[in-house]
Amino acid sequence: MKILSIGSFNGNSNTCLHRNWALQKLGNVDMVNMYEKPISLWFRIANKLFNWGLPLKLPDLSNCNQQIYALVENNNYDIVWIDKGWLVCRETLEYIKNVSPETLIVSYSPDNMALRHNQSQQYLDCVSLYDFIFTNKSYILEDMKRLGARRIKFVNNSYEDSFHYPRQLSETDWSELGGDVGFVGMWEQERCESILYLAKNGVNVRVFGGGKWVEYKGKYTNLQIENKGLYGKNYSKSFQTFKISLCFLRKMNFDQQTTRTMEIPACGGFMLAERTEEHLSLFEEGKEADFFSSNEELLEKCRYYLNHESERRLIAEAGTKRCKTSGYSNKDAIEKMLNEVFRSH
């Protein structure tokens, strides 16, 4: 299978890059990095104006559309896989269909593409031309159809098995990355309130995230704020070194699951996540992960599991096993997606 993979491939913690790695396990892959050159001030301004409602296209600073033209002209691709596709123009997809009508064009995004802050004018122009769209947001299917999606399917999140896995840990890893309860990620109001609730009630919490989190540094005895995020191996290691890894959902995207839903258990971590129907379908509650629906329940379960180490470890091990046996890896997930694409044509 010959594949053209288009996306953002910067940084080894990048889930788009991880999906590209999975594609490379499934076929012969050429790549176009949409963000080979850094984002400019004009790019940010154009994006802001688009979010305000103007039909303004984002500047293609890396000339990704021209790269796609050249590759399609000289290669016969079975699949063109476009990850998010903020910068891919409608004319580019039309060119692919004209030059290589047998090539199937697939769109995937880890974001809620029905919301304007995740869209671009280029993306909106292209929705109707994708042969297949995959989304990890189960609740946007009808919204995407109204935007022009012809074939769209919900898929669960996935993890990269060559990056997210239990690692050998040193004493330094435990001290520099670990703690009782941990969270790695951006600040949001609701998750901040939950973490402060734990700290105010005597639970030690460590947060890696920087940004607005820094405003809370040194203000609470039981709250340790690190002025940085975690990337690379340390990101994966942190889920092992925390006794409890918190998994919050982004309220602005209305998420029911997130990439950490898979990554925490895959790395050998004990996951305590917000309770949703999708989470409950992915991991058995109290056996492969655990869940909470309120700050009071979150506090209760943190206290319980901090005092029941053997039970906590058994659940973490079962969560890792579930990731493998249920095919939650990128390779397994993308292979199923591509099979779906070929079956539909």
Record the tokens describing residue 47, joined without a space: 């994006």
Using alpha carbons, list the distances in angstroms from residue 252 to 38, 115, 118, 218.
26, 9, 11, 28
> Over 90: is that where the pLDDT of 253 sits?
no
Please give the mean pLDDT across all residues of the chain: 96
Residue range 162-215, pLDDT digits in tens: 999 999 999 999 999 999 999 999 999 999 999 999 999 999 999 999 899 999
Least Cα distance to 93 among 138, 58, 59, 128 occurs for 128
2-158+330-343 against 171-325: fold identical: yes
What pLDDT sits at residue 251? 79
pLDDT digits (tens, 9 = 90+) for 75-86: 999 999 999 999
- The class that CATH gives domain 2-158+330-343 is alpha beta
**Residues 164 and 245 sit within 8 Å (Cβ to Cβ):** no
The domain ranges of the chain are: 2-158+330-343, 171-325
Whether residue 130 has pLDDT greater than 90? yes
Q: What percent of the chain has pLDDT over 90?
A: 96
Tell me the CATH number for domain 171-325: 3.40.50.2000
Regarding pTM above 0.85, the answer is yes
Report CA 86 to chain centroid distance, whole Å.
16
Backbone phi, then psi, for 105, in 5-degree steps? -105, 120
